Structure 1
Amino acid sequence: MRIKRQLSRLIFATTIGLSSIAHAATPLDNTTFTFNGYIKLDALASQYSDGTIASGSIARDFYIPSLTPVGGNDEGTQFDIHVRQTRFRFGSETQLTNGDKITGVLELDFQVVPDGNERISNSHQARIRHGYLKYKNWTLGQTWTTFLDASVFPETLDFIGITDGIIFVRQPLIRYTQGAFEFAIENPETTITPFGGGTRIVSDDNSVPDFIGRYTLRRSWGHVSLAAIARQLSLQNEQNGNNISTTDNAFGINLTSKINLGEDDIRLTFNTGSGLGRYSALNAANGAVLNANNEIEAIDTTGFAIAYRHLWNAHWRSTFTYSQFHADNDVTLTGSSATEKTFSTRANIIYSPTPELKFGAELTYAERTIESGLEGDLNRLQFSAQYSF
């Protein structure tokens, strides 16, 4: 639970150092500022059945389905401790002279970004998670994709928790909301497996945005939501001396629900499609593969997840999850090292002496199988402490 505190205009302008900018941009007399976030410590002990993960990899900080080692000779155990999920959120709301209002959000954390170090200072750079404005029915900026339902994220100590089965993308977008309906055009990007396998090709050659629509039905028992996406996969590049100009169409659906059971709840998600790629399971499979004729072919994927949250009493609660991902690869094109399927399951216990503070322990078991049949698993024990404000 986060507690939002109104900051006085004078304190905000002095602390953030934006006094002159704020006065130039909007009358402060009509603007309210908010600041909230949390400080979070994560300690992780991870045991891999088939090797270890390289130092500096984001899979050391949180679970990445496609990075579980496979085919190694020995088991490996690694311990990591960090505060990179710590998060700060700045908000503003301005009453306009025409009677309308406009809101803005800027949210930062320290995940994923490179160039940190663990030798002396353990410094890490901040990154933008969200940066957007809302005016009337419009959302403009960077935030969760309309294809994602953020309300089905479970309360886990892992950064995402049901990574194998969930849609997870933040990106720049223009979204229009009318009642239960949402429509958006969003930033396009194509990820491609080279012919025969190899290093992922990331193409920014799309000529049209990703098109997404969503409908959400809300009732006293919870909600159910259906989203659909249509997008272009494109590669305009030179590979092995050949000029490549190829496109393919991609589409998919994402069905989600949260069902209230008294103080408990169940959260469900199911997604399937052709060419979902980077939207699904943190890009466990690419959106397309390049064939021998230098044409791209979309890869079909399916993911699903379930999470159950139970309150033991006013201070103790637990979440239990299972999530799974499967890619229908054409092995003659992708090669045998492509990820075929992954799954993970976790259980935790969380103690909150007050709403602002929580401590927790979480067990995770995960498996990854590649097309050759090789597989590897992960056992992880995670401890977290979090102070929200």
Structure 2
Amino acid sequence: MKNAYARFVPLLFSALISCTKVSAQVTLITLKRENQREWDLYTKGLIQTDFMLDFQNMKVKDGFIAHSIEIPQHNSVNTNFSIKQSQIGLGIKQKTENGLSVYAEIDFYGPKGTTAPRLRHAYLQWNKWLIGQTWSNFSDLEIVPGIFDFVPPNGMIFTRRIQLRYTTPLSAKEILSISMEDLNIPSITLPADSLGWKKRAIIPTITTLYRYGSEKSYIKIGGILTPISYDTRSTLQDSYKTRTIMGWGALVSGKLYLNNNNIVSVQSSFGKGFETNNSNLNEEKYDAVPDPNNGNRLKTLPMFNLTGVYEHWWSPKWYSTAFISYSSLGNEDFISKDMTKNFQHIGMNIAFHPYKKMRIGIEGSYGRRHNFANLEAQAWRIQWSTSVSF
């Protein structure tokens, strides 16, 4: 404990003189050949530093993920200093409406806890079409709150996907988008035996999202169909047979400006076999699990999510964000007892913009995880952050 507090003071000092976050764009050069359209080569991103103080062990250090809270409860003080949220992007686009554009972006959330560069976005956009890797169409970027944490409220549907997307306005207030996304999206648990069942990627995930409203206040309704395919056999001598089950999900999301200083946002989602689209359960093998009462065939798990966000601007330079989220995953008796049954995530911050492209603040987060063995653990985090955008 004394060692933790001995590290706390210098790290806190470093964090407080270095913490912030915003979004901008810097044009590097404008290109134009005679009688042709102009092109802009630009860069954008942010440099963010975070100091985190945890009061319970969590497997994930750089973002608050309730699913990673270790069970049983083991209170301990841990500190972490990170620059992994920093992002650098480079793009080129035609200076015309619906022109061709290409964009790529990295952060520093590398594998195994390193700060190696990681590809976040890489896509090409033209007219109403987009192809490449970016945020899934089955999500709502507009509702993501102004928090410092690398991970949004844990009940949100929020992931990146390789995709082909078509987006079109239906009227002055309506927009519809449809996408085919990565064949390999489903994240499943296979039986732990010698038969060697295999996951297959055969049919792409299909999503649709409808938006109605103004630039500020709106409502979105979305749907997702996720085919889950795998190869099975009953004995080692048998040939593999491919089975496919269907995962599905529905999403309702919206934002309401009560006035310029008070904003309320809500998102809810429900369905079966789409757990990996949850920001907390991405690639955690919860979409389908084996049912030993039915020959170990995979069965999709139900999931329900609910998130509420309130943002208040105290002045043009000061604001606070508060949120609460809840997620639940069914109650099947064949699910492994160490798997997560439900989790909650609550947070609040206060942020200051001393300059337009700089943000400094402090944030508190609380989470609770409950597994199928009816054991639970709780965790608290305090985070000091600073970022500068360009």
TM-score (norm 1): 0.84
Query: Structure 1 pair 282/112, CA: closer, same or farther in 2 (3 Å)?
Result: farther
What's the counterpart of residue 147 of structure 2? Answer: 156
In the alignment, the residues of structure 1 paired with residue 382 and residue 299 of structure 2 have an alpha-carbon distance, to the nearest angstrom, of 39
User: Which residue number in structure 2 is paired with residue 45 of structure 1?
Assistant: 53
CA separation of 1:382/1:306 partners in 2, compared to 1, >3 Å: closer, same or farther? same
Corresponding residue for 2:80?
80
1:339 corresponds to: 340
- Quick check: 1:111 aligned with 2:101? no
Q: Find the aligned partners of 1:245 and 1:236 in 2 and give their Cα distance.
A: 4
* Residue 325 of structure 1, CA deviation: 0.5
Question: Match of 2:224, SS?
Answer: strand
Whichever residue aligns with residue 273 of structure 1, its letter is G
Paired residue type of 1:151: E
Identical amino acids, percent of aligned pairs: 21
Is 2:258 the partner of 1:256?
A: no
Where 1:60 maps in the other structure, the secondary structure is coil
SS in 1 for 2:354: strand
1:5 counterpart residue number: 26
Aligned counterparts of 2:37 and 2:219: Cα–Cα separation in 1: 40
Q: Which residue number corresponds to residue 265 of structure 1?
A: 263
Counterpart pick for 1:193 among 170, 189, 192: 189
Deviation per CA, 1:67-98, whole angstroms, max 9, x where unpaired?
Answer: 111124x32221000100000111211369xx
> Structure 2 length normalisation: TM-score?
0.84
The 5 A counterparts of 1:15-94 are: 30-48=38-56, 52-53=57-58, 57=59, 59-72=60-73, 74-94=74-94
Q: 1:3 offset after TM fit, Å?
A: 2.9
Deviations 1:308-350 (A, max 9, x none): 1100012111000101110004122x22111110001111010
List gaps (5 residues or longer) in structure 2: 1-21, 170-174
Matching residue's letter, 1:354: Y
* Separation (CA, whole Å) in 2 of partners of 1:286 and 1:240: 26
1:264-299 C-alpha deviation (Å, 9 max, x unpaired): 211111000011120124326610111221311110
Matches within 5 A, 1:302-313: 302-313=304-315
Write the distance in 1 (CA, Å) between the matches of 2:197 and 2:100: 36
User: Residues 294-305 of structure 1: matches in 2 within 5 Å?
Assistant: 294-305=296-307
Report the Cα distance in structure 1 between the residues aligned to 2:230 and 2:93, rounded to whole angstroms: 41
How far off its partner does 1:65 sit?
Answer: 2.3
DSSP-derived class of the 1:259 partner = strand
Residues 276 and 112 (structure 1), Cα distance of their counterparts in 2 relative to 1, 3 Å cut: farther
Q: Secondary structure at the match of 2:329?
A: strand
CA RMSD of aligned residues (A): 2.7
Where does residue 322 of structure 2 map in the other structure?
A: 320
**Separation in 2 of the partners of 1:221 and 1:40?**
27
Change (3 A) 1:239 1:379: farther
Where does 1:226-305 land on structure 2 (aligned, <5 Å)?
226-236=221-231, 241=236, 243=240, 245-263=242-260, 264-283=262-281, 286-292=286-292, 293-305=295-307
